[in-house]
Amino acid sequence: MWTTIVLAGVGCYVLKLAGLSLPDRLLGHPLVERVADLIPVALLAALVATQVFAGDGALVLDARALGLGFALVALLLRMPFLVVVVGAAVVAALARLV
Amino acid sequence: MSSPAAVSETVPDRTERSAIIRDSLAVGVATGAYGFGFGAVSVAAGLSIAQTCALSLLMFTGASQFALVGVVAAGGAPLSGAVTALMLGSRNTLYGLRMAPLLRWRGWRRAAAAHVLIDESTAMSVSRTTTGAARLAFLTTGVSVFVLWNLATLVGAATGEAVGDPRAFGLDAAVGAAFLALLWPRLQDRRNVLVAVLAAALALALVPATAPGVPVLAAGGVALLVGALGRRQDPTEIPGPGDVAGGHR
């Protein structure tokens, strides 16, 4: 785990430094930019889906879905970040008590 | 410089300076507090307090950190977690390309500034018209987020360790909510919504068939496909001041 942390940490720093150091034309290709813009969208959406609906190699519907539902409503109401995240945890925890 | 769009070395006046510092610190506090959530989620995923703090110090880019511990928590190999983190970290490269002509740092200053090149510091400085104002906003935001994010990570990790079973407190549900909150500002664009839906559907379809961590990486392929087919530039690619935590206060 430590090796992963150090390598991924250094890798993320190199990605930042490359952006500030490389000439614009090297990475400025429209295709590269489009794909790089879409990667966070695709990965974050996939992470939302798998964190909420996956468990032990199968699809699961449990209290986490209620937490996500709360997060969705909170975001629509433009609540702050922390309210969204803590609220989702509280909703899921309460649902498990019932 | 007569043109307001020109990048000049003009030093911002006192009123502008205090406005920049006030706004940047507010973003720093809001984002830093969120580090508490990362700390708690990370120890819940099975990392030690030291490993959790090392991630915040070394990697220091929230979405990548959450991705790494999220994949590990789901039972994925650390390598899949690292690759997902690096793919998410690649957006900082694009921020750097935008910010370099505005910040105009060289040598060790550029190397140091690169560490705090993140969503928030970019959002708070990208629209400034002078190098002086951009540097001030970039550094105030970046450094305040860095300090508070790391302190909050430590407190969150210690709290998470004390709490014990993360499921009892819904911490597993907090991870999904955190990713949705990170994704949210990018969903103003319709093409992004399409990519998000396709990526989520593909990932879920792969869950029963593949090892944990693989579905998320495969979903990155949707970005490649849509990016290769599409033409239009994404208007939400660079976050604005309204997109960061606390930005809509």
Residue numbers in A near B30 (CB within 8 A): 80-82
In a domain, A20, yes or no: no
Report how far residue A82's alpha carbon sits from residue B158's, in angstroms, rounded to the nearest whole number: 18
| Per-residue confidence (pLDDT) for residue B249, from 0 to 100 | 29
| Per-residue confidence (pLDDT) for residue B85, from 0 to 100 | 93
Whether B183 sits inside 8 A of A44 (CB atoms) is: yes
In this prediction, residues B24-53 reach a mean pLDDT of 86
User: How far away is chain B from the Cα of A86, in angstroms, using its nearest Cα?
Assistant: 7
How confident is the model over B200-237, as pLDDT tens digits?
999 999 999 888 788 888 898 898 899 888 765 555 55
Higher pLDDT, B152 or B241: B152
The DSSP bridge partners found for residue A55 are: A58
Place of tokens 């511990």: B69
To the nearest 10 degrees (0 to 180), the angle between helices B14-44 and B49-58 is 150
Look at residue B47 and give its three-state secondary structure.
coil
In a domain, A73, yes or no: yes
Residue numbers in B near A44 (CB within 8 A): 63, 88, 179-180, 182-183, 186, 196
- pLDDT exceeds cutoff 90 at B37: no
Look at residue A97 and give its three-state secondary structure.
helix
Report how far residue B158's alpha carbon sits from residue B154's, in angstroms, rounded to the nearest whole number: 6
- Count of residues in chain A: 98
Question: Whole-angstrom distance between the N-terminal and C-terminal Cα of chain B?
Answer: 33
- The residue type at B191: R
| Per-residue confidence (pLDDT) for residue B64, from 0 to 100 | 92
Select from B48, B71, B207, B210 the residue whose CB has the most chain A CBs within 10 Å, as the one to mutate to test that interface.
B207
- pLDDT exceeds cutoff 70 at B243: no
Report how far residue B136's alpha carbon sits from residue B16's, in angstroms, rounded to the nearest whole number: 10
| Per-residue confidence (pLDDT) for residue A87, from 0 to 100 | 92
With a CB cutoff of 8 Å and minimum separation 6, the contacts of B177 are A67, A68, A70, A71, A84, A85, A87, A88, A89
Whether A15 sits inside 8 A of B93 (CB atoms) is: yes
Of B208, B136, B27, nearest to A81 by C-alpha is: B27
B88 neighbors B67 (Cβ within 8 angstroms): yes
CA distances from A27 to A6, A20, A31, B26, B61 (A): 26, 12, 9, 33, 21
| Per-residue confidence (pLDDT) for residue B236, from 0 to 100 | 52
| Per-residue confidence (pLDDT) for residue B247, from 0 to 100 | 38
In this structure, the number of other CB atoms found within 10 A of the CB of residue B215 comes to 28
DSSP 3-state percent helix, strand, coil across chain B (nearest 5): 75, 0, 25
Determine what percent of chain A is predicted with pLDDT higher than 90.
54
In a domain, A24, yes or no: no
With a CB cutoff of 8 Å and minimum separation 6, the contacts of A23 are none
Higher pLDDT, B4 or B170: B170
Structure tokens at B96: 């750097």
In a domain, A1, yes or no: no
Q: Where are the domains of chain B?
A: 15-184
How confident is the model over B164-203, as pLDDT tens digits?
776 777 878 888 888 898 889 889 989 999 999 999 999 9
In this prediction, residues B117-127 reach a mean pLDDT of 87
In this prediction, residues A46-70 reach a mean pLDDT of 91
In a domain, A42, yes or no: yes
CA distances from B90 to A14, A40, B156 (A): 10, 9, 26
Nearest CA in chain B to A13: B115
Of A68, A69, A59, A73, nearest to B209 by C-alpha is: A59
Question: For chain B, how long is the longest CA-to-CA vector?
Answer: 61
Whether B186 sits inside 8 A of A40 (CB atoms) is: yes
B37 neighbors B141 (Cβ within 8 angstroms): no
Question: Cα-atom radius of gyration of chain B, to the nearest Å?
Answer: 19
| Per-residue confidence (pLDDT) for residue B237, from 0 to 100 | 56
Higher pLDDT, A14 or B10: A14
Whether B97 sits inside 8 A of A92 (CB atoms) is: no
In a domain, A65, yes or no: yes
Structural domains in chain A (count): 1
- pLDDT exceeds cutoff 90 at A26: no
Q: Which residue range is the domain that position A63 belongs to?
A: 29-97
| Per-residue confidence (pLDDT) for residue B239, from 0 to 100 | 64
CA dihedral B48, B54, B59, B61 (to 10 degrees): 70
